[in-house]
Chains A and B, each alone.
Chain A
Amino acid sequence: MSMEEDLPGTGDQKKFLYVNRRAPYGTIYALESLEVVLIGAAFDQDVSLAFFDDGVYQIVKDQDTSGIGMKNFSPTYRALGDYEVTRLYVEKESLEERGLTPDDLMEITYEDEDDDWAEKPSVRLVSRAELSEVMAEQDVILSF
């Protein structure tokens, strides 16, 4: 909070972190967590998402739900940039434990208004220790 107060117009912002530790489809938590993120984006807070443990499965590419009768909501993660949600922390160790590499993830980007709308990656690969630091900086941590 004290750091934020030095920036113009952000004194009232809180740092919100949405923790995603569960796979999609088997339970509704991933989808309903995403719905909170989309609504929360309207509140002009400092928002980040964390994907670790089975949460990394939420953003793998090539999801096709046509055979299970459920909506494929994975494209919504790619739209998060339009909602000014631009920081998605993904834990390297969680990927490795699951035999995944960053290439297995969807390409999720945002346009940086402070840099002539340059397209930049929203996914930030972090180590477990770095993710712990990110979590320690938050004001509100929501997990579902």
Chain B
Amino acid sequence: MLHTVNKSPFEKSTFESCLNHARPGDAVLLIEDGVYGAVKGTAVSGQVAKFNGDLKLYALGPDLAARGIKDASLMEGVSVVDYGGFVDLVAKHDVSQAWL
């Protein structure tokens, strides 16, 4: 399954809920304000790192760039994709779940 999360983890518990409900092998794509959850050295990055490996984490590049986040600031294991990559992720996984 592909999960998409569009909320900042500092404002809403959506990302946390997604991580707690995702299953090993699932992919999580952070988009919009969700991309703040992919940054290393934050109050939530330790928690996110626990899931890294069981889950595959992605962040949407155009949303990172818009928010001034450089790839070097991202947690280890996070892959950056563009909108075409987003489309490929949806195609690759049987079901997409949007954590709105």
> Which residues does A use to contact B, with CB under 8 Å?
19, 21, 29, 52-53, 128, 131-133, 135-136, 138-141, 143-144
Q: Compute how far the CA of A78 lies from the CA of B95 in the bound complex, rounded to whole angstroms.
A: 29
Cβ contact within 8 Å between A138 and B95: yes
**A-B complex: 7 closest residue pairs judged by Cβ atoms:** A141-B97, A132-B21, A143-B100, A132-B23, A53-B17, A136-B23, A143-B98
Cβ contact within 8 Å between B13 and A143: no
List residues 85-100 of chain B with CB under 8 A from any CB of chain A. 94-100
Cβ contacts A to B, 28 pairs, < 8 Å: A19-B97, A21-B17, A21-B99, A21-B100, A29-B100, A52-B17, A53-B13, A53-B17, A128-B20, A131-B21, A132-B21, A132-B23, A133-B23, A135-B1, A135-B21, A135-B97, A136-B1, A138-B95, A139-B94, A139-B95, A141-B95, A141-B96, A141-B97, A141-B98, A143-B97, A143-B98, A143-B99, A143-B100
Q: Compute how far the CA of A130 lies from the CA of B99 in the bound complex, rounded to whole angstroms.
A: 18
- Size band of the B side of the interface? 10 to 19
CB contacts (< 8 Å) of B55 on chain A: these are none
- For residue B1, which residue of chain A has the nearest CB? A136
CB contacts (< 8 Å) of B17 on chain A: these are 21, 52-53
CB contacts (< 8 Å) of B20 on chain A: these are 128
- For residue A53, which residue of chain B has the nearest CB? B17
Most chain B beta carbons < 10 A, residue from A52, A53, A140? A53
A122 → chain B, closest Cβ, in Å?
Answer: 22
Q: Compute how far the CA of A19 lies from the CA of B17 in the bound complex, rounded to whole angstroms.
A: 13
CB contacts (< 8 Å) of B23 on chain A: these are 132-133, 136
CB contacts (< 8 Å) of A128 on chain B: these are 20-21
B17 → chain A, closest Cβ, in Å?
Answer: 5
A46 → chain B, closest Cβ, in Å?
Answer: 14
Q: Compute how far the CA of A139 lies from the CA of B93 in the bound complex, rounded to whole angstroms.
A: 11
